[in-house]
Structure 1
Amino acid sequence: MNLHDRITQDLDRTDRAGPDIARLTAHARSRGRRLTLLRRAAATGVTLATIAIGGVVLVASPWDDGRSSTEGTVATDPTDPTAPVSAEPGTGPATARGAVAALVSALGDVTDAPTSAYVGQDPRAELGDRDYYAQVRLEDDGGPANVEINVQFDGGFSGGCTETMDECSSTRLPDGATLTSYVLTGDKTPGDIRSVAELVRVDGVRVVVVATNSITRPGVGTYVTRREPPLTGDQIRSIVQQDYWDEELPVVFLDAGVTLEPFRAAAS
């Protein structure tokens, strides 16, 4: 029995005989099939340490030594009754780790490629800064590349195309938000391509998702690793429009991010 089957069996067993998870299940479905995505994330080797309602999956893959994200995988027994359980369906203040877990889940809805090299920046509440940032390394047959999300508040953002954006298109959505897609090419790194989806909501929140064809390592720099970014425009637009990008994130992501490894805090 593979890891995915074991986790699925454990989740089904918990549904039948475990703690009352009806509220969690209903909430997860209303937030965009979170439980299903977390199961998929576990199946692809993602480090989501607290799987929604039971089971722990740890991926011990050093993020900065050039190895494949699937090397060195270690998993605990998902049927272990002592494994952490998240039965609270609410939300809580966003954290860098929670944002990474949410990004991994959103990626799981559009690709089966494994992820690693988790990076994030917490909101700086002491400075009145509510913005947060998350980055993961996505690795498919084309090679590794970074995918990033930045959630920003109180910036007076207007959205739309500018002269610095290549292949730009902008659409006003039925809810009044402005969705803009474009491509940026790197001035500092020749060959660097950044495919961007930007959502400016009517509540003033700006969400930006970037898929690159490069990776960045601290103290080394950014270098191109593949011909094109690993995600299409439709895929990054799907991620940027998820409804949970806000000052608070669902507890299922906050819990999953607590022991997520390998994780690095981004420089402020």
Structure 2
Amino acid sequence: MPADQHHDPFETRLAAALRDTGDGFHADVAALTAGGEVRGRRAQLLRRTAVLGGAAGIALAGLGGALLVPGGDSSDPRRSTAAAGPAASASAAPAASFSGDDLLRSLKELLPAPGEFGQESARGTGSGLPPYARLVYDDGGGAAAVGIGLRRVEPGSREVRELTRCPDRTLVDYDDCTSSRLPDGSLLMLFQGYEYPDRREDTKWWNAELVTAEGQHVSLSEWNAPAQKGAEVSRAEPPLSMEELKEVVTAGVWRRVVDAVPDRPGPSATGTPQAPPRTAPGESVGATLAELLPDGLTVVGRGGQESEYAYLVVDDGKGRSLVQINVQPDMSDVADQLYGDAETLPDGTLVTTRKGPGEKGAAGVVMWTADTMRPDGFRVVVTAFNTGAQHQDATRDAPALTVGQLREIALSPRWQALG
């Protein structure tokens, strides 16, 4: 897997993950073709929210689904009301709109004083794109990038659960993570990890994800460097403690900002809403993968997501080996990017296999992949590593499954019965 995925595979690397910021989608072909690292519609590498980087400086692609971009007219004549400070009551009436300056002012007021600020950038609620604010903050201990992004999500959805669920340690190396429900019904995840989980650089990434019972999503991130990537570490840790992150992310002003984002236009009166593609339950994907394993392998660990993705850790007596699978419907729109030199079977199924390196910071790790797509766009990708955790050093010379065995599993007709 690419080395800078912060959480589960096919999420946020989740390689530098594809950014869907509402300013445009740019496919990273190398990332798309590497070892089944694509999941979901439009072949996004979905990642938990990261607030600095990308075309607009903020990536807001949620796990397990496409970015929710609110509609709206950037020429909206409604008056921009100044954002309230940290002492403002959460029950106050929402502002008609918030400018980028309003968001920056609120963020500064919520950060511990004294502090110096620089490299400021923000977007308000009137542009039709998700609002955000980012800046470099120095409390005297070193410059640190801090950013916040805001949007709406569907309350109680799979996306909400994945946004606020701590990552699987088999897949991601991190220091600490807690997920809890607050007294008002909001879900809060506090995460302490690394910009590069393989530790090839010392940049730490601490993150707070808040989703309220009404679907207001607030994502706050900080680093121990003045930029998310490409800057030298300036301090031992990011400036805000977990308690301070919680205080900032739960401030009532952010909920009012989300409430001020214009609703997305609904389907036209004559249009027919398009039903989302049916997805395979993650539990069924994992169970089917286990049943299709060749003889001689013992399953010693397993996990995955609610749909499409699962993994097994297997051992043939020579050491642990991580095996991952992603089952994706309706992926025809990226077939040209993924299968340019692929084998075409008599029934039209595209097949490609690859052998390549795994994590850059994990010594000796290799990744073997079988990637298939049926004529209807149904994609199955199976990947195996020569380690039991993709961010850890190799524990054996080669994966426990051959490329031929991975190919056979990916081509099994049993997958289409799940999708």
Relative to the length of structure 2, the TM-score reads 0.35
CA offset at residue 189 of structure 1? 6.5
Corresponding residue for residue 143 of structure 2: 144
Corresponding residue for residue 195 of structure 2: 186
CA offset at residue 174 of structure 1? 1.0
Corresponding residue for residue 169 of structure 1: 178
Contact 2:186 2:210 in 1 (8 A): yes
Secondary structure (helix, strand or coil) at the match of 2:201 reads coil
Corresponding residue for residue 197 of structure 1: 208
Letter in 2 for 1:100: L
Contact 1:177 1:201 in 2 (8 A): yes
Aligned residues: 163
Greater alpha carbon shift after TM alignment, 112-121 vs 204-213? 112-121
Structure 1 residues 189 and 93 mapped into 2: Cα distance closer, same or farther (>3 Å)? farther
**Alpha-carbon distance between aligned partners in 2 of 1:250 and 1:199, rounded to the nearest angstrom:** 15
Q: Which has the higher contact order (CA 8 A, sep 6+)?
A: 1
Structure 1 residues 250 and 170 mapped into 2: Cα distance closer, same or farther (>3 Å)? closer
Higher strand share: 1
**Alpha-carbon distance between aligned partners in 1 of 2:127 and 2:217, rounded to the nearest angstrom:** 18
Identity %: 23
Deviations 1:89-128 (A, max 9, x none): 9723233222111101111xx33222222112345744xx
Contact 2:86 2:106 in 1 (8 A): no
Which structure 1 segments of 5+ residues have no match? 1-26, 35-88, 252-268
Larger-gyration structure (1/2)? 2
Note if 1:95 corresponds to 2:99.
yes
**Alpha-carbon distance between aligned partners in 1 of 2:115 and 2:167, rounded to the nearest angstrom:** 32
Contact 1:91 1:249 in 2 (8 A): no
Structure 1 residues 92 and 124 mapped into 2: Cα distance closer, same or farther (>3 Å)? closer
CA offset at residue 227 of structure 1? 1.4
Letter in 2 for 1:153: R
> Which of 225, 245, 249 pairs up with 1:240?
249
Contact 1:181 1:198 in 2 (8 A): yes
Corresponding residue for residue 33 of structure 1: 87
CA offset at residue 243 of structure 1? 0.7
Contact 1:94 1:247 in 2 (8 A): no
> Which of 221, 243, 258 pairs up with 1:210?
221
Letter in 2 for 1:151: L
**Alpha-carbon distance between aligned partners in 2 of 1:122 and 1:150, rounded to the nearest angstrom:** 11
Deviations 1:175-201 (A, max 9, x none): 110111111212297001011111111
**Alpha-carbon distance between aligned partners in 2 of 1:99 and 1:172, rounded to the nearest angstrom:** 26
Structure 1 residues 171 and 136 mapped into 2: Cα distance closer, same or farther (>3 Å)? same
**Alpha-carbon distance between aligned partners in 1 of 2:141 and 2:118, rounded to the nearest angstrom:** 15
Letter in 1 for 2:117: T
CA RMSD of aligned residues (A): 3.2
Greater alpha carbon shift after TM alignment, 177-186 vs 239-248? 239-248
Structure 1 residues 247 and 196 mapped into 2: Cα distance closer, same or farther (>3 Å)? same
Contact 2:151 2:258 in 1 (8 A): no
| Structure 2 counterparts to residues 1-268 of structure 1, below 5 A | 32-33=86-87, 91-107=95-111, 110-123=112-125, 125-126=127-128, 129=129, 131-154=130-153, 156-158=159-161, 159-163=164-168, 164=172, 166-187=175-196, 190-216=201-227, 221-246=230-255, 248=257
Letter in 1 for 2:192: V
Secondary structure (helix, strand or coil) at the match of 2:149 reads strand
**Alpha-carbon distance between aligned partners in 1 of 2:224 and 2:211, rounded to the nearest angstrom:** 25
Relative to the length of structure 1, the TM-score reads 0.53
**Alpha-carbon distance between aligned partners in 2 of 1:202 and 1:237, rounded to the nearest angstrom:** 17
Corresponding residue for residue 41 of structure 1: none
**Alpha-carbon distance between aligned partners in 1 of 2:259 and 2:153, rounded to the nearest angstrom:** 22
Corresponding residue for residue 38 of structure 1: none
Which structure 2 segments of 5+ residues have no match? 1-82, 261-419
Higher helix share: 1
Deviations 1:24-57 (A, max 9, x none): xxx96xx7435xxxxxxxxxxxxxxxxxxxxxxx
